[in-house]
A = this chain, B = another copy of it.
Amino acid sequence: MENQETKESLQETLEQIIHLLDKQALVEDLVHHQEMPRRDLVESLVHKQHLAELQKKLDVLHPADVAYILEALPLERRLIVWDLVKAERDGEILLEVSDAVRQTLIAEMEPEELLAAAEQLDTDEIADLAPDLPKDVLQDVLDSLDSQNRARLQSALSYPENTVGALMDFDIVTIREDITLEVALRYLRRLGSLPDHTDKLFVVDRDDILRGMVSLKRIVVNDLDAKLSEILSDDVVLFHPEDDAGEAAKAFERYDLITAPVVDINNKLVGRITVDAVMDYIREESDADKFSMAGLREEEDFFASVWKSVQNRWAWLAINLITALVASRVIGMFEGSIEKIAALAALMPIVAGIGGNSGNQTITMIVRGLALGQISSTNMNSMIKKELGVAMLNGLVWGGVLGVIAYFLYHNYHLSLVMTAAMTLNLLLAAVMGVVIPIIMTRLGRDPATGSSVLITAMTDSGGFFIFLGLATFYLL
C-alpha cells in the first residue's frame, strides 16, 4: 500500500473498472441488437468472465477505496459494482460512502440484506447509518441486539447530530487502578487484541467512574512492578455526550489528542471519541460550509438525476431571486434618471459589485473571529472602526480610479465625482454590515456562516444602486 502507488493505483483501478464495465456494456449492446434473451446473456461466458475479473479487483480494495469507486460511477454502473461486493463487506462500505450515494445503494437493497449489513457493525456505526435505514429495518436491527448494545444504540440515536454523543464509540478498554503493570499486561495479553486507535486504557473504579488514563506509551516504558495508580494521568481532557462536537474537535486540535473519554454527569465512563471520527467531522463541516456558501443544500451525488440536483439547489436560487428582485425595484425607482443618463445603467453594477466583494472580505474575517471566540460584541466597535478605515482607504483609491475611468468614458466631471462618492459610501456600508450582520446573527443564536454572504450581497447590491442612483439624481439632474 505504498502511497504514490496507492493514489495512482486507486485512479488506475477506477479506470480499469470503467474499462471492464465498458466491455460488458458492449456485450449487452450486441445481445440487445441481436435480441438474445436477457437470461442467456446473464449465462453467457464472456459476461461472467468480466464480472469475475471485476469482483477480484474489488475484493482486495480497502472499504474506503470501494466507496470511492462507487461514488465515481453513474447510478447504473454503481449498482452493478455494488452487487459484486461481498455481502459481508456491505456494512463497512455503506459507512464510508457519502450520504447521497448511500441513499442510492440502500434504495436497491432488500430488508434482509440491510439487516445483515447492519449486524456486521458496531452500535456506534449502526447509529451513523440509522438515518438512511427504512424504519422497519431499524426496528429489526434493534430487536437483533442484546440489551447492552440496544441501550447503547438507542442512546447514540438520541443525541443530535452535532454533539459528542453522536461522534462517540464504545470501544473502550477499562482497567482498575489498584493493580501493577505486570497484572495489567497479563490482562491485555488475555484480551489478545485491542480496538483500533487504542492509545490508552481508561482507569475506572468498581462503578465505572473514571479515575484517569494510562497511555500504552507509559505502559511499555515503565517497570513491571509499578502500580497503575502511580503512572496514570488524571489531568485528562474529557467530554460529555451532550457537548458540542465542534468544540470537541477544537480541543482535539488544540491538545493533539488521539482518543478522549466521554463521561456522564456522574463522571461514569460511557464511551470515547477517536481522532479519526474527529477528522471526518472536520472534513464534513468544512465541506458543508463550502456547499452552503455556494448555495447547495447538501453534498450532491455527482450522478444524481437532474431532478434531484434541482431540489438540492432551488432554495438558494429562490432566495437569490428575491434579493435580486428587491435590487431591481430599487433601480426601478430611478428609471426616470436612467432614461436621461443611460451611462448610469452601465456604471451602477460596478458600485454594487465592489461593495459586495469588499463586504464578503469583512464578513469572512468576522465569522472566523466569532467561531474562534476571539471576537465578541464587546470589541465590535473597534472592529467597525478598523473596517471603516479599510473601506475609506479602498473607497478613495478605487473610487478615485473609477472616477477617472468614468471621466474618460463619458467626459462628465460631475458623474465622476458621483461615482467616487458612491463607491466610498457603499464600501463604508459594506464594512459596517460586514461586522454587524454576523455579530447580530450570533447573538440571535444562529450560525453566522450560513446566509451571511447572501445577506451582505443583498445589502450592498440594493444599497449600492440606491446610493449611486440617488446621488446621481440629486446632483446631476
Interface residue ranges, A against B (CB under 8 Å): 1-4, 6-7, 10-11, 14, 62, 64-65, 68, 71-72, 74, 185, 188-189, 191-194, 196-199, 216-217, 219-223, 235-240, 243, 247-248, 251-256, 258, 275-276, 278-280, 282-283, 286-287, 289-291, 293-296, 300, 302-303, 306-307, 309-310, 313-314, 316-318, 320-321, 323-325, 327-329, 331-332, 335-336, 338-339, 342-350, 352-354, 357-358, 360-361, 363-365, 368-369, 372-375, 382-383, 386, 389-390, 393-394, 398, 401-402, 405, 409, 461, 465
Contacts and interface: CB of A to CB of B under 8 A. Distances in A.
A361 B279 contact: no
Contacts of A349: 324, 327-328, 331, 349, 352, 461, 465
A365 B223 CA distance: 56
7 contacts: A62-B255, A71-B374, A290-B364, A320-B354, A327-B349, A338-B342, A339-B339
A360 B294 contact: yes
B357 A398 contact: no
A246 to B, nearest CB: 10
A354 B302 contact: no
A191 B331 contact: no
A416 to B, nearest CB: 14
A349 B458 CA distance: 12
Nearest to A274: B256
A243 B402 contact: no
Number of copies: 2
Nearest to A262: B3
Contact of A220 (B219, B306, B323, B342): B219
Interface of chain A, main secondary structure: helix
A314 B365 CA distance: 15
A169 B296 CA distance: 39
A469 to B, nearest CB: 9
Contact of A238 (B3, B65, B382): B3
A327 B345 CA distance: 11
Given A296-B364, A365-B296, A394-B314, A72 B358 contact: no
A68 B372 contact: yes
B196 A294 contact: no
A188 B74 CA distance: 52
A312 to B, nearest CB: 9
